[in-house]
Structure 1
Amino acid sequence: MFRYEIDEEIVLQQLEIKDAHALFQLIDQSRVYLRAWLPWVDGNQTADDSQAFIEHTIQTLEARKGLTTGIYYQGKLVGMAGYNSLDFRNKIGHIGYWLAEVYQGKGIMTRVARALTEYAFHELDLNRVEIRAAYENLRSREIPKRLSFVEEGKIRQAEWLYDHYVDHVVYGMLASDWENIR
């Protein structure tokens, strides 16, 4: 099972089936906020739905196609983060994340995204890390900016979000750039 300690407050850990209820409760408590930016929220209506999601993340990890972890802050599940996809042939990882609204503003996600970027370059030997965020999701877009990712462009109508399309902004970091920033 994957477990990565970022610092004394934050741990990333692969969720297990037994975590389905806690994950569902976290999603349910932040449902209105998360729904503004994430297309899967309406599809997660029960703990069984969360369990199916966890099972999918375990299969994705076993296939080496992605890594989705729970974010534990001071021992409590507060969100999810990881690599939505891993392309080892091209050495690219796509970071995705979400955090319950009540835990925002504490620097948690910046530390998580920094750790995932570092892990991608030094443990997974990737060459590129990408983060995409909805154009209007300014809080999410601040994460890659803080970490000196390069804003590479905007993808028009990149994602269907319930009843409308949203544009995405693409941020990229290369291993060579990361070494120069560190």
Structure 2
Amino acid sequence: MFHYPIDSKTELRLLQEKHAHALFELTNANRASLRQWLPWVDRTHTVEHTLQFIRSGLQQYAENNGFQCGIWHCGELVGSIGYHFFDWYNRRTSLGYWLGEKYRGQGLMTKAVKALTDYAFNELTLHRIEIRCAVQNRASCAIPERLGFTLEGVCRETEWLYDRYVDHNLYSMLRQEWIGTPKSR
């Protein structure tokens, strides 16, 4: 099973069925802030919905087509990050992530995105990673910007968010841009 230590207090672990209750509780406790940018929140009403998400991620992992991790900080589940898919022919993927409200602003997500970017380029030898964030979600957009991803453009009205379409910024990083960069990112 995938396990990736980030630092002495933070690690990524493949989400497993035993994590369903904790992940649902984290989602439920942060429902209002997550709902602002994530369309799946209103479809997550029970632990069973979260269990279905985890099972889907485990299926991805088994098929070598992406995976979903929990972010643990000081032994507590604080968020989620994962690869949406692996396009092995073109050697690319995209990342998605979210963090509980009380854990934001500590650099945890930046470290988690950096870790999965390192893993994608160094272990999986992928060529390209994409991150899409709602244009108005400044906190989420700041992460790829902080890590040196290139803003390629805006995908207009690309996601239905409850009652309206939202634009997404499309960020990318290429392997040759990442490899050999300072470890202090």
Fold conserved between structures, TM > 0.5: yes
* Contact 2:82 2:96 (8 Å CA) reproduced: yes
Structure 2 residue matching 1:7: 3-state secondary structure: coil
Give the drift of 1:15.
Answer: 1.4
For residue 7 of structure 1, what is the amino acid of its counterpart?
D
Aligned to 1:156: 156
Aligned to 1:75: 75
Q: How does 1:1-12 map to 2 (within 5 A)?
A: 1-12=1-12
Matched, 1:94 2:97: no
For residue 87 of structure 1, what is the amino acid of its counterpart?
D
Distance (Å, rounded) in 1 between the aligned partners of 2:48 and 2:179: 42
Aligned to 1:44: 44
- Structure 2 length normalisation: TM-score? 0.96
Q: How does 1:74-153 map to 2 (within 5 A)?
A: 74-153=74-153
Give the drift of 1:181.
Answer: 2.8
Distance (Å, rounded) in 2 between the aligned partners of 1:4 and 1:180: 20
* Unmatched 5+ stretches in structure 2: none
Structure 1 residue matching 2:84: 3-state secondary structure: strand
Distance (Å, rounded) in 1 between the aligned partners of 2:137 and 2:166: 10
Give the drift of 1:41.
Answer: 0.4
Matched, 1:20 2:20: yes
- Structure 1 length normalisation: TM-score? 0.98
Distance (Å, rounded) in 2 between the aligned partners of 1:173 and 1:129: 5
Structure 2 residue matching 1:166: 3-state secondary structure: strand
Distance (Å, rounded) in 2 between the aligned partners of 1:95 and 1:53: 16
* Contact 2:121 2:179 (8 Å CA) reproduced: no
Distance (Å, rounded) in 1 between the aligned partners of 2:171 and 2:52: 30
* Unmatched 5+ stretches in structure 1: none
Q: How does 1:28-67 map to 2 (within 5 A)?
A: 28-67=28-67
Aligned length: 182
